Chain A
Amino acid sequence: QQPVQSPQAVILREGEDAVINCSSSKALYSVHWYRQKHGEAPVFLMILLKGGEQMRHEKISASFNEKKQQSSLYLTASQLSYSGTYFCGTPPTGGFKTIFGAGTRLFVKA
């Protein structure tokens, strides 16, 4: 079951904040976040584990609410380099394969 991401797209001015959400209908063991810039491969940002701490990657942080089966990615004081498509991925409990959401397209303009 593919996790659901929202919003589908967001446009920001440099310096503004944004939140990207990822939710699943199934119990989550962990959530992975990736960013893909145009024409490039997806690049790993962070993994959040059940019972783990909030994680950070530069000025991007994320939280994981196991009870609500959702994760949120917080982009603070966005920079032009944050533009791209953000994917959340959810491995099933006990499994290896990572199922990704449809992605959130983020565009930061000067």
Chain B
Amino acid sequence: DVKVTQSSRYLVKRTGEKVFLECVQDMDHENMFWYRQDPGLGLRLIYFSYDVKMKEKGDIPEGYSVSREKKERFSLILESASTNQTSMYLCASGLGRNSPLHFGNGTRLTVT
């Protein structure tokens, strides 16, 4: 079974802090994604990566950056956390365009 592991299930940070969300997948997938999930808005794509050191902006990249130094690891960085970034963050990985995405269990981030 494909496993996508997110480092924290719950995280509480203060406004202005730098926040790192880590994601690791064990199936050698080329593509990795970061989504945020908010009630009524569904899953919105923040960033994705189709190869090591390659990244592309999704629909809501403002306030976020990403890092992919190794194929199995994709990190989401909040340079200066703000309260409107309080959300559930979901990492996913997949092989290609017609392949299913495999999601991690999510990190619920609260910024106070």
Contact = CB atoms under 8 A, between A and B. Distances in A.
Contact of A91 (B42, B50, B97, B103): B97
Interface in A1-54: 2, 5, 29-30, 32, 34, 40-44, 47, 49
Contact of A97 (B48, B99, B104): B48
Contacts of A103: 42-43
B49 to A, nearest CB: 10
Given A41-B104, A42-B90, A99 B96 contact: no
B93 to A, nearest CB: 12
A2 B38 CA distance: 14
B101 A87 contact: no
A107 B44 CA distance: 23
A38 B50 CA distance: 29
Contacts of B98: 30, 47, 49
A102 to B, nearest CB: 4
Interface in B35-69: 35, 40-45, 48, 50, 56, 58-59
B96 to A, nearest CB: 7
B100 A47 contact: yes
A82 interface: no
A99 B59 contact: yes
Nearest to A42: B103
A103 B35 CA distance: 14
B66 to A, nearest CB: 13
